[in-house]
Amino acid sequence: MSPLVNAAEIAEAARILRDGGLVAFPTETVYGLGADATSDRAVARVYEAKGRPTFNPLIVHVPDLAAAEKLGEFPAPARRLAEVFWPGPLTIVVPRRKDCPVSLLASAGLPSLALRVPAHPIAQGLLKAVDRPVVAPSANPSGRMSPTTAAHVRAGLGRKVDLILDGGACRVGVESTIVGFLGREPQLLRPGGIVREDIERVMGHRLATASAGDAPVAPGQLESHYAPHAALRLDAERRRSGEIYLGFGKRDGDRNLSPSGDLVEAAANLFRMLHELDETGTKSIAVAPIPHEGLGEAINDRLRRAAAPRSRE
């Protein structure tokens, strides 16, 4: 596995992940904050631990291309890139498969999925042992530098992580290159560990670069995110006639984000419940007030964007 981490530690880490816990582990790029990608609740804990003010979509890690193809629809050029560069610091964004079990919160409600197969032997060992897709954004508090040693992770996240697998320093130290296969032509969504020229050589042509307005794409360009078809009315104390009500805490409704008023539970339920209510074909969803503390900031940010007037493609 690695001289620094033995098989028993990997097994313990896999058990923690399957139980919904958080495990920081080394990849060849930076240390990732890992959680079971199929669990809304585990994914919500990742956002909470990082203290992110927004739900940006997370990269889903799997041990190989076969596992990736169970989650996303790979067009032929995407498969070719995967065959050449995986395992390695390349993330491929593709449409999510209909039967994909990954939490909607992990992709921030988007119909796409960012997938990566890391090369690091500890990451590989862990992913095989978990036998589930794992989200793993960089293991640092939001707005701080990405960690390239276990000590960085400990200093930044401390007791918010259930276990840190210490594999020494990361080799690449910059994040993965992200290539998207969502539109007519592939796009470079984020430069990273694998250089553009190497990707272009394999593709046999130049790679378009995402520009602002080509949503949903790279960090900072995710404005036109998941938006429901229904209009949203926020901070609604009660339901008005014709509305469907999404409750929180004691304000109960057609669905309740968290009857006990727990913000981690509310984050875990947010996208799924919005989708479910939207699928009823309602014209208007009223949402109960959500406190602005902790994960409430990210929940309110997402609701505000979903409620904002938007252009439809």
**Which 3 state secondary structure label does DSSP give 156?**
helix
DSSP β-ladder status, 187-190 and 177-180: antiparallel
Half-sphere exposure of 53 (CA within 13 A, CB side): 5
CB count within 10 Å of CB 236 equals 20
Interface residues for ligand AMP in 61-100 (CB under 6 A)? 93
Cβ closer to Mg ion: 50 or 251?
Answer: 50
- Closer CB to ligand AMP, residue 133 or residue 216? 216
Q: Which stretch binds Mg ion (CB under 5 A): 78-86, 96-104, 132-140, 188-196?
A: 132-140
In whole angstroms, give the CA distance from residue 287 to residue 189: 33
Residue 218: CB minimum distance to ligand AMP, A: 4
> How deeply is 256 buried, as exposed, middle or buried, from its count of CB atoms within 10 A (0-12, 13-18, 19+)?
buried
Mask for 140-179, x = binds ligand AMP (CB under 6 A):
-----------------------------------x--x-
Who's near 19: CB < 8 A, 6+ residues apart? none
- Picked from ligand AMP, Mg ion, none, the partner binding residue 75 (CB below 5 to 8 A depending on kind) is none
Sequential DSSP letters for 221-232: --SS----SSEE
Residue 39 or residue 148: which is nearer to Mg ion going by CB?
148
In the complex, the smallest distance separating the C-beta of residue 37 from ligand AMP, rounded to whole angstroms, is 11
Residue 138 touching Mg ion (CB under 5 A): yes
Q: Is the C-alpha dihedral spanning 105, 107, 109, 113 positive or negative?
A: negative
Q: From the list Mg ion, ligand AMP, none, which binds 59 (C-beta under 5 to 8 Å, kind-based)?
A: ligand AMP
What backbone phi and psi angles, to 5 degrees, belong to 39?
-110, 115
Q: Is residue 146 a contact partner of residue 41, using CB atoms and an 8 Å limit?
A: no
From residue 183 to residue 222, the character string flagging contacts with ligand AMP as x (rule: CB under 6 A) and all else as - is ------xx-------------------------xxxx---
Which residue lies nearer to ligand AMP by CB, 31 or 245?
Answer: 31
Rounded Cα gap, residues 223 and 157, in angstroms: 28
The residues of the shown chain that bind ligand AMP, judged by CB under 6 A, are 56-59, 93, 107, 110, 112-114, 137-138, 175, 178, 189-190, 216-219
The residues of the shown chain that bind Mg ion, judged by CB under 5 A, are 138
